[in-house]
Amino acid sequence: MKRNFWIVLVTVFAIGFYSCDEDDSPDKSVIATVSQGANYTNDIYYSLANGIVAEVPRTNWDIAFSVDAMSSSILINDGAGVILKVYPTDAGWNWTDAIDTTGYNEWDALYNSNESWEEAAFSQNATGHPNYGWGEYNSTTHDVIGVAMYIIKLANGDLKRIYIENKSATGQEYNFKYSDLDGTNEVSETISFNGVTSNYIYYSLENEEVVTDREPDASTWDLLFTKYIDNSIQYNVTGVKQNIGVQAIEEDDVLDLTLETYLESEFSDDITTIGSDWKDFDMGSFQYIIDADRIYFVKDQNDIVYKIVFTGFEGSSTGNMTFEITAL
């Protein structure tokens, strides 16, 4: 294991940090371009080995449920403008209780974590095991039972109340319901995750339906080009998230790195290690400037390491971004 790690590191320095020798193969590097379209209409699922895996509408879902039997993760589409807030309830509250949104604007908004897929918006109010925010784990049935009411604001501005009733371990399904704030237009849903090969199942509250053919098989992609809320600045950004099991390192001024310096770096599971800060917007020129000294090393699910250097970003006019990929 240690011997293989050193081989990877030597390869990184031979190929990634110094100019190529005459005998080096020039086809190790590929210039790739992905386009999210004008105004970032699409999400792009990308394989470092095979290129674009799927191109899907970015705003056709509101919430998404993890299919992992050990997970309680429920995402919101915060990059499309969906906002989640916990509704303050009293002990013994009931789904049919009247909703009072006085003070709604002052309630804390819950967004997906920038570090982990597991720490999704519906879990941000978790207090610790067995409480996972929206629900509590039952050690007898292994179900997660809903304990919280939420107000969710859709991208179109509509407000809904939503209650995740449970995640059934034996049934391999989620049960949830939602309605208008006054209780009208109630919808009850059961979503099975049995046999699903993506990480999540996606659902549109606006259209009252499961969104099919969205996320591809979890084993086929490494990176997701998308929009999301950067929690450090509470702002919607365009950037890159890593798939579960994909790790990355961000490095600056790499030509000055020594082998000892690189050995001190560790691959991170942080899903926005690449993120959005490889570019900055210049208010003087009204153009995006790429950080020329920043590179990323990404280890895919098969432990193959790639070097990524971003070289271009055209902004919302086209949604085009260009980068160089080198297999190490």
Q: What is the pLDDT of residues 64-115, one digit of tens each?
A: 999 999 999 999 999 999 999 999 999 899 999 999 999 999 999 999 999 9
Confidence at residue 173, expressed as pLDDT on a 0 to 100 scale: 98
**Shared-domain flag, residues 20 and 73:** no
Last residue in a domain, options 189, 211, 233:
211
**Shared-domain flag, residues 80 and 103:** yes
Q: What is the largest CA-CA distance in the chain?
A: 74
Confidence at residue 109, expressed as pLDDT on a 0 to 100 scale: 98
**Shared-domain flag, residues 69 and 206:** yes
Question: Residue 236 in 3-state DSSP?
Answer: strand
For residue 100, the enclosing domain spans: 63-211
**Shared-domain flag, residues 68 and 206:** yes
**Shared-domain flag, residues 192 and 92:** yes
**Shared-domain flag, residues 240 and 207:** no
Confidence of residue 257 (pLDDT cuts 50, 70, 90): low
**What is the share, in percent, of the chain residues with pLDDT greater than 90?**
83
Does 6 have pLDDT greater than 60?
no
Last residue in a domain, options 161, 186, 211:
211
Mean pLDDT over the full length of the chain? 90
Confidence of residue 261 (pLDDT cuts 50, 70, 90): low
What pTM did the predictor assign?
0.89
What is the average pLDDT across 141-168? 98
**Shared-domain flag, residues 222 and 179:** no
What is the average pLDDT across 190-210? 98
- Confirm if 295 and 309 have CB atoms less than 8 A apart: yes
Does 22 have pLDDT greater than 90?
no
Does 121 have pLDDT greater than 80?
yes
What distance in Å separates the CA atoms of residue 72 and residue 133, rounded to the nearest whole number? 9
**Shared-domain flag, residues 206 and 82:** yes
What DSSP element (H or E) covers 10? helix 2-11
What distance in Å separates the CA atoms of residue 286 and residue 289, rounded to the nearest whole number? 9
**Shared-domain flag, residues 78 and 13:** no
Q: What is the pLDDT of residues 269-328, one digit of tens each?
A: 999 999 999 999 989 888 999 998 899 999 999 999 999 999 999 999 999 999 999 998
**Shared-domain flag, residues 119 and 73:** yes
**What is the share, in percent, of the chain residues with pLDDT greater than 70?**
88
**Shared-domain flag, residues 11 and 122:** no
Last residue in a domain, options 211, 237, 267:
211
Q: Structure tokens of 2?
A: 């240690």
Confidence of residue 266 (pLDDT cuts 50, 70, 90): confident
What distance in Å separates the CA atoms of residue 294 and residue 306, rounded to the nearest whole number? 14
**Shared-domain flag, residues 225 and 277:** yes
Confidence at residue 255, expressed as pLDDT on a 0 to 100 scale: 56
DSSP code per residue over 235-274: EEEEEEEEPTT-EEEEEESGGG--HHHHHT---B--TTSS
What is the average pLDDT across 164-183? 98
Task: Please give the tally of structural domains in the chain.
Answer: 2
The one-letter code for the residue type at 47 is: S
Question: Residue 34 in 3-state DSSP?
Answer: strand
